[in-house]
Structure 1
Amino acid sequence: MFSRIVHVFSLCIALAAMTLTANVSVNGLFTSNMVLQRNIAAPVWGKASSGEAVTVSINGQSKSTTTGSNGVWKVKLDPMVEGGPYTLTIKGNNTVTLSNVYVGEVWQVAGQSNMDTRLSFYPNLADSIKNANVPLLRYCTMRQPGQSTGGTNPWLVVSPSTAPNLSATGYFFGKEIQKTTGVAVGLVVTAVGGTTVTQWMDPATLAANPDITNTDRGGCWNTWVAPAVGYGIKGTVWIQGENNCNAGDSPLYGDRFKLIIKGWRAAWGQGDFPFYFGQLSGTSGTPGPDDLSYVAQVREGQRLALELPNTAMSVNCDYASGDWHYPNKPEAGRRLALPAKAHLYGQNSLVYSGPLYSSKIIDGNKIKLIFRHTGGGLTVRGASLSGFAIAPATGAYVWATATISGDTVIVSSSSVPEPARVRYGWSNKPALTLFNAEGLPASPFTTDGKQLPVSDRILTTSISSGEGTITPSGGNFYDNESVKLTATAATGYMFDHWGGDLSGNSNPATITMTGNKTVTAFFIADNNTYYTVNTQVSGAGSVNQSPEGTRIAEGARVSFTAVAAQGWKFDGWSGDHTGKDSEYVISSLDKDISLTSRFIPIDPSVYEAEYAVIKGGVSESVNAGFSGTGYANVNNEAGSSIEIMVYVTNGEEKKVTLTWANGSAASRSFTISVNGREVIGSQTFEATGAWTTWKQKEITLLLEQGINTITLTSNTADGGPNIDKLEISGQTSASAKKGSSAGPAFRYRFGNLEITSGRPVSFFKVEILNLSGQKVLCRTVKLSADSRALLRIDNLKHGNYLMRVTAPDNFSNLQRFIFVQ
């Protein structure tokens, strides 16, 4: 009995010990294939035992923390630029490893059914699913059909097999952002159909607004959004409001929608991040001039939400479907992406919105309507400009006659001699006719009630001294709008400071338009002496220079660091500095500098394609069976390419082996070029049966001694196969070859090519080829007693040539030279 008690007691102790030691885990949002937001301190969090040390590592950085008493740990990564694929590890008492992680742009996709409905919902999008091979677009859906909890679905790479369950609008939005930026884009989908605006409110907002008493309030936030709060994002795109089109909700929608935007921004703690939303579409019905239209009231609330900073709206009620769930999701996604392209991704002059009503001027029996976002000008779509209704201060609306005058519309009606109010597109299904020249429709509106702030704050700029420019140079802005000013000095001058309503010497600087503002810029003569600093790279690598730029002032401290690409190593500097140290510092610049950083491969026989230059494609690790860390996957489009830089110790024809996978039903092909010269017009890569089945193909390429660039370019819209690696046979170590004197040296003297041999042979075979590979000269030359020979070449034309020299001991060397008489 005593023994059994001891055993039971020991078992209890063991079980207690087991419960006290929990494996480290990461929040369900963090899985393989995910995208982390670039250029921010992206948080990563999870659970572990209280007091357990946790270290998160990715892309050369590690962050450590200790788990709190609540069993939760959290770190913030240093900001990273776009890149990948990376491996993220979380190490505590155990290790969690996440692969194929990218850093890029992350957008939350939110709202109800017009954002939630998947690509598979729309028969017209079947081809879009079939062609949805976008490796740099990934998504995490917080809710799959039938799920009652959120935050448990892994990140997926968009492909024909994963696309059907992705938000249709989100897909076309994300695809447009990825195409624009060229970086990985991640979509965190938190949309659920059939929901109301109050269901999406966060607890803090509800607590601050006790008048919101809806029984469903906060439900969707708790289930679908709360698990995602804190994940680093660029912004949110939103379409919602259909379930609020009723007598009780419609008049309140605008104010409640603004609470959503403010509350979500506060919860994320990333400031006023971009919040772009789609206006309600059209349903059914015939427009009348005096319609009540709950749908129009919700649209008006959405329009007025534009008073919040960093918001933009796309208009969707011109789609002629007559159904809430309009099938034109490609255009809906494109329109939502326009403000992101204009505000965030460098397309500053892009017209991203349709015309928006700004203000009105009553002129007798007419009303002039003033619009902004008119782009290239107001235009009419259809037979005539219709959809405008006009009314006196009290009384019913009647249809109005409307004409365009510049960036304004003038409306009137003979039955309303004293007009005071105007509506446009005010119905469940409006027939929109007013567009800008860029094809974007004007938003429906009413001049009744509260309006958006008028852009009546005037900014004036001038140059007080010296020469330069200020951008923007002035203009009209909204009340309290923040305007970033940049001073650019002319040659011979430098920016000194601001004046007027802006002070200091920060450049660029921001001014808030609390009223009309006047800003001056002071430029002074730049008496510094400047030197030119140029860096070049031979091989695969880069040079980090500080400070950056090619024009640097005398006396500046300038540092250079050579950074080798994966699979390569730094081999030395040449030019104005020679040496083997990868870091070189000029303590005080006193002359022009030209440097070349030389890199050679660690193993000159194997080149992993995931480290190549991929134009129109991505490096990824989704399909198993590859070597190294991944493979190159080009887009399904003609012209997508893979550029692989290789190093050849002896220039000659080389056997090159490509490892590829082609999981499509048909063969795919590449054009193959060497150093910009096409050598194989169409190299076929047969179907391998699956993207995880890898095969090898051997080809022969004429390569020069030293650095060569081999380019594989897709011939058709199907793109090429996935490439795992390129191998070159007969290669010796680059470091072993370097410095060998066994090869011949060449010098041109008086019409002859003088060849000096370092090999114990009596003759060489010399072949000269043009860059197309055709022989233009072939000679055998005998070596003199001092190992020299002369070859007459003055009959060659001016131009670039390749010269191959072969010795009887099977030594072969290929070099490029330029012949100029």
Structure 2
Amino acid sequence: MKKILAALLLISSLSLADVKLASLFKDNTVLQRNKTVYLWGKADKNEKIKITINSQTVEIAADENGKWKAEFPPMDAGGPFELIIEGNNKVVLKNILIGEVWIASGQSNMEFQLKKSVGGEEEISKADFPSIRIFVVKHKVADTPQEDVEGEWQVCSPKTIANFSGVAYFFAKKLLTELNVPVGIIQSTWGGTPAEAWMPKSTLETDEDFKPILTRWDRKIKSYPSDLEEFNMNGEKLVATWKIDSANAIAKGMAPPRKPNKPEGPGTRNQPSGLYNGMIYPLAPFSFRGVIWYQGEANVARAFQYRRLFPALIKNWRELWNAGDFPFYFVQLPNFQREPEPSKSGWAELREAQLLTLAVPNTGMAVTIDIGDPANLHPTNKADVGLRLALIALDNIYDRDEFIFSGPIYKSYKIEEDKFVISFTHTAEGLITKDGKTLRGFKICGKDKKFVEAKAEIIGSEIKVWNDALKNPLSVRYAWADNPDCNLYNSGMLPASPFRTDDWEETTFNAR
């Protein structure tokens, strides 16, 4: 009888599930200030839960499935606080701050570690900023939307910051310096990934422009077993050849080819929707201020498609959070590879697709055409990238009008006496050349569509472009190449975005 009672008591105790929070809520968390704060997790069915933070208490009950979500009204920046959750058990989270939270996402250049950045080691040694907190989402590919992520909130210090995103670190540091409030960064990144990996499948399968992405992936899945077998047989030979080709490319001042990788298959990082399901969907509805995004290299071969793919991604994320058009700031691809002259350039087309995305409400673009590395897909200057993203946020969100946040952006043109007269927005106090020399980077063409060198002159906030031998000019392009030689800036020392005045079909027009 005693054994039966003991067993019943054990079963009874096991049936009382501990109240748990989603993994985003742990010691050292930063919660978003001045916005509704959502907390959620799991507990026993219908379990009553009391949550307290910053002298505010909310009482709720779990639903029939044991899921619960609590809402706290907007709170001012502050802390540290304790976050206390009481149900069948008691959970106390310590060192909670309230401040500004941003999501940093994209591929390898956002993931690029601070320790590998220019000046990174010195920066790490001085990175004692306890009001900056970082949460790195563990890589995960998933076929269906997940409920949670893996990760820990870390306090920024020389011991914790080395492997964190260099771009996101410099972004956070600038915000902390200017706003003097806590800053939290949720880093959800994975190198080498295309935009479609970060989007829901429903968008990809219902849009005619995007359906080929899924069709192509299905073909890869079907051929995966034989492709993998071939790679396993010839992989060493491929890598050996790659090493030779890389050495030759570097000797010529060219970018080395990509290292041969195993074939893509089920559960790999490029799986359409895989990272959205595993690394973005579970973050909602965590409250945050905005997103910083650095991605596009993996979509260069389909740059024209990116004109619609990238805005669709932004729309998807905003729909997921259902929190309005939150800020979405992104990095325009930098200069890369050897080609400095006007040419058929997927990189130029991708930059144009990013430029056109500025038509999406509440977006901003950091131009980096001047701080890339022709021989390195991963330029190591991440400080200027993070700073330029921060300038966009400071001016547009935090009302710091003293900051110039954008370089010149092409607006319109007119033709006067065989000369293009080009107008720009974001000229600040005037257009300049960074080096004080004659303008470079402008090309012009006539009806033959063959671009030639152009002369260019700054006239106030406009630029005149011409070629003495060319009558009836048809189009002008600026910095339209993989690695253009260009020097147009505004008085804020921010570079102009590459642009063209024509809309002719280029190399990726039909690529899907």
TM-score with structure 1 length normalisation?
0.52
The C-alpha deviation readout for 1:761-802, integer Å capped at 9, x for no partner, is xxxxxxxxxxxxxxxxxxxxxxxxxxxxxxxxxxxxxxxxxx
Structure 2 distance, partners of 1:35, 1:108, is: 12
Question: Match for residue 359 of structure 2?
Answer: 307
| 1:202 maps onto 2:203 in alignment | no
The structure number with the bigger radius of gyration is 1
Contact 1:143 1:192 in 2 (8 A): no
What is residue 422 of structure 1 aligned with on the other side?
476
Change (3 A) 1:265 1:393: farther
Pair 1:233-2:288 in alignment: yes
Query: Is 1:156–2:154 an aligned residue pair?
Result: yes
Which residue of the partner structure matches residue 401 of structure 1?
455
Deviations along 1:263-293, one digit per CA (max 9) or x if unpaired, are 111111110111111100111213223x110
Q: Does 1:34 align with 2:29?
A: yes
For residues 142 and 320 of structure 1, do their structure 2 counterparts lie closer, same or farther at Cα, with a shift above 3 Å needed?
Answer: closer
Residues in 2 aligned to 1:328 and 1:352: alpha-carbon distance in whole angstroms: 18
Once the two structures are superposed, residues 198-219 of structure 1 have per-residue CA deviations (whole angstroms, 9 ceiling, x without a partner) of 1111344335425423222111
Task: Tell me the equivalent position of 1:569.
Answer: none
State how far apart, in whole Å, the 1-side matches of 2:478 and 2:10 are. Answer: 71
What root-mean-square deviation, in Å, do the aligned CA atoms of Structure 1 and Structure 2 show? 2.2
Q: Which residue of 2 aligns with 1:109?
A: 104
1:193 aligns with 2:191: yes
Question: Which residue type is aligned with residue 419 of structure 1?
Answer: P
Please give the per-residue CA displacement for 1:440-491, whole angstroms capped at 9, x wherever unaligned. 00000111239xxxxxxxxxxxxxxxxxxxxxxxxxxxxxxxxxxxxxxxxx
For residue 324 of structure 1, the aligned residue among 335, 355, 377 is 377
Match of 2:298 in 1: 243
**Match of 1:341?**
394
After superposition, the Cα gap between the structure-2 partners of 1:368 and 1:123, relative to the gap in structure 1 and judged at 3 Å, is closer
- For structure 1, the residue ranges without an aligned partner over 5 or more in a row are 451-821
Distance in 1, Cα, partners of 2:390 & 2:461? 25
Distance of aligned partners of 1:320 and 1:225 in 2 relative to their CA distance in 1, 3 Å threshold: closer
DSSP-derived class of the 1:265 partner:
helix
Counterparts of 1:557-706 in structure 2, within 5 Å, are: none
How much does 1:151 deviate? 2.2
For residue 344 of structure 1, report the CA deviation from its aligned partner. Answer: 1.7
Structure of higher RCO (CA pairs closer than 8 Å, 6+ residues apart): 2
CA deviation vs aligned residue, 1:318-355 (integer Å, no higher than 9, x gap): 01522221111111110000011111222124211000
Whether the 8 Å CA contact 2:35–2:73 is kept in 1: the answer is: yes
CA contact (8 A) 2:142 2:277 kept: no
Q: Distance in 1 between matches of 2:174 and 2:56?
A: 31
Cα distance between partner residues in 1 of 2:140 and 2:118: 18
Which of 424, 427, 434 is the aligned partner of 1:381? 434
Q: How far is the alpha carbon of 1:317 from its aligned partner?
A: 1.7
TM-superposition CA deviations, 1:530-585 (whole Å, max 9, x none): xxxxxxxxxxxxxxxxxxxxxxxxxxxxxxxxxxxxxxxxxxxxxxxxxxxxxxxx
Cross-structure match for 1:358:
411
Specify whether residues 395 and 18 from structure 1 end up closer, same or farther in structure 2 by C-alpha distance, changes over 3 A only. same
Q: What amino acid is the match of 2:210?
A: I
Q: How many pairs were matched up?
A: 442
**Alignment match of 2:465 (pick from 400, 411, 435):** 411
User: Take 1:144 and 1:259, find their aligned partners in 2: how far apart are those partners?
Assistant: 23
Q: Is residue 437 of structure 2 the alignment partner of residue 442 of structure 1? A: no
Distance 1:307 1:171, change over 3 A: same
Please state whether the residue corresponding to 2:119 is helix, strand or coil: helix
Q: How does 1:157-306 map to 2 (within 5 A)?
A: 157-209=155-207, 211-213=209-211, 214=213, 215=217, 216-246=271-301, 249-289=302-342, 291-306=343-358
The superposition leaves residues 569-617 of structure 1 with CA deviations (integer Å, 9 ceiling, x where unpaired) of xxxxxxxxxxxxxxxxxxxxxxxxxxxxxxxxxxxxxxxxxxxxxxxxx
Structure 1 residue 12, shift from structure 2 partner: 6.9
Deviations along 1:205-240, one digit per CA (max 9) or x if unpaired, are 335425423222111111111121211000001110
Q: 1:327 to 1:146 in 2, by over 3 A?
A: farther
Structure-2 separation of matches of 1:76 and 1:295: 44
Inter-CA distance 39–133: structure 2 relative to 1 (3 Å threshold):
same
Quote the Cα distance in structure 1 between the aligned partners of 2:426 and 2:40: 42
1:48 paired to 2:43: yes
Cα distance, 1:144 vs structure 2: 6.5
Amino acid at match of 2:442: F
What is the letter of the counterpart of residue 360 of structure 1?
Answer: Y
Name the one with the larger helix percent.
Answer: 2
Partner SS, residue 422 of structure 1: strand
Distance 1:227 1:146 in 2: 12
Q: Does the residue aligned with 1:300 lie in a helix, a strand or coil?
A: helix
CA–CA distance in 2 between the matches of 1:58 and 1:138?
18
Tell me, in whole angstroms, the C-alpha distance in 2 between the residues paired with 1:439 and 1:128: 23
- Distance in 2, matches of 1:220 and 1:445, equals 32
- Write the distance in 1 (CA, Å) between the matches of 2:469 and 2:276: 50
Alpha-carbon distance in 1 for matches of 2:412, 2:380? 34
Quote the residue 1:809 is aligned against: none
2:15 counterpart residue number: 20
Q: 1:115 to 1:272 in 2, by over 3 A?
A: same
Q: Is the 8 A contact 1:206 1:212 kept in 2?
A: yes
Verify the 8 A CA contact 1:299 1:444 in the aligned structure 2: yes
Task: Give unpaired runs (5+ residues) of structure 2.
Answer: 218-270, 505-512
Tell me the residue number matched to 2:93: 98
1:416: how far off?
2.8
Q: Which residue in the other structure is 2:222 paired with?
A: none
Q: Distance in 2 between matches of 1:416 and 1:16?
A: 89
Which secondary structure does the structure 1 equivalent of 2:189 belong to?
coil
Q: Distance in 1 between matches of 2:14 and 2:318?
A: 38
Taking the aligned partners of 1:268 and 1:74, their CA distance within structure 2 comes to 14
Letter in 2 for 1:49: D
Q: Report the 3-state secondary structure (helix = DSSP H, G, I; strand = E; otherwise coil) of the residue aligned with 2:64.
A: coil
* One-letter identity of the residue aligned with 1:225: I
Shift of 1:420: 2.0
Q: Distance in 2 between matches of 1:194 and 1:124?
A: 24
Amino acid of the structure 2 residue aligned with 1:235? G
The equivalent of 2:268 in structure 1 is: none
The structure-2 alpha-carbon separation of the partners of 1:129 and 1:431, relative to structure 1 and needing over 3 Å to count, comes to same
Report the counterpart of residue 261 of structure 2 in structure 1. none
Alignment of 1:481-630 (within 5 A): none
Residue 64 of structure 1, CA deviation: 1.3
Contact 2:428 2:491 in 1 (8 A): yes
Identity of aligned residues (%): 36
Paired letter, 1:222: N
Compared CA separation, residues 146 and 127, structure 1 to 2 (3 A): farther
Change (3 A) 1:53 1:185: same
Residue 245 of structure 1 aligns to a residue whose secondary structure is: helix
The residue identity in structure 2 corresponding to 1:87 is E
